[in-house]
Structure 1
Amino acid sequence: MIPTEEEKQKIQEAQLGNPDVPLGSAEQFLLTLSSISELSARLQLWAFKMDYEVMEKEVAEPLQDLKEGMDQLERNKTLRYILSTLLAIGNFLNGSNAKGFELSYLEKVPEVKDTVHKQSLLHHACTIVVEKFPDSSDLYSEIGAVTRSAKVDFDQLQENLCQMERRCKASWDHLKVIAKHEMKPVLKQKMSEFLKDCAERIIILKIVHRRIINK
């Protein structure tokens, strides 16, 4: 969108060579753009201002879901029923008295089947939970945040957070460059306050991200 120096020069040469011929709307538009000082910095600064709320939401909401999901799992009684039932079945089958098991064991639950009816361990566990714990639920309806979190690429979320920080820092540089040429004091103050607020919110997001991921 931003005209290059070569494009600007060609338009000006054409204008000088044919002063009686008016420029086309596209050429006039490009020439007008080229006359704006620090156009690239202005566009990038305003783009950040327009994009910020959406970028923040795309990072903050999944983090909130992840935190909420952890809380849902921690306090969910049906999940405790399921895990305790699986532990009891595992101890029975192995003739042991283990106090717990590794999470990787859960991957085998749908695969292990009995030799008579060929029903999976998952089927038997669910049957026991329903019969033994009538106050249990379907679990799925109680862990909505976990379901949403499972669809999130948290490596990409971290990259998005880093990109927000980079764009915020770059916006400060853009503001300084623009202010050297022309910018009303009131506008400069508003943009400075906006960028300061963004920087503080990004710092908070980084702290929240680190605490939740390391929880």
Structure 2
Amino acid sequence: AIMISRIKFSFEEISNIIINMDYDKKLTNDQLHSLLNCVPTEEEIDLLNCFEGDASDLDVAERFIHAVKIIPNMSNKIKSILYIRKFNTEKQEIQVQIEAVRIVANEISNFDNFKKFLELVLAVGNYLNGSTLRGSAFGFKLNDLNKLKEVKTGNSQIPTLLHYLVQQNPDILELITEINCFEKCLKSKYI
């Protein structure tokens, strides 16, 4: 009865909100959770149905049961309202993240230096692995780019394959300006 009395709507209004599955913000999530804890049992409804007196003679909890007893599957309706709210909130958050990924994907597809760099790495990888099954690859995982700094050249002035690629193709350094837009995408919790 205490939880019910904190809700600033009449019992009839509460009943209509639940019956109509009104998921806008008339009732807060806390109020809906409180109502979920107050859903009358079949036994409580049956006892109240036996009452033949005036509804004004009922106490607060009984008047609440009297108002909501007409709601079929009250518990499921309240849970559905809460689920719809949660779904809509999460959907909006995900749409923002998807848009960020879409923008970055579009930008990446226009990065000429990045494309050239990936083509070069694939060609070098295929050359180095020419006599193995990996020698005729059509692509590679982006994580494999980390291996460029691990492959040693044997030349102290050009210690790694990455150094060699930059020395032979200085325009690769222009990649740095293109890569700055990755930051927005990488901050997304959905990647």
- Greater Rg over alpha carbons, structure: 2
Q: TM-score, normalised to structure 1's length?
A: 0.43
Looking at both structures, which has the greater relative contact order when contacts are Cα pairs under 8 Å and sequence separation is at least 6? 1
Q: TM-score, normalised to structure 2's length?
A: 0.47
Q: Relative to total residues, which structure has the larger helix share, 1 or 2? A: 1
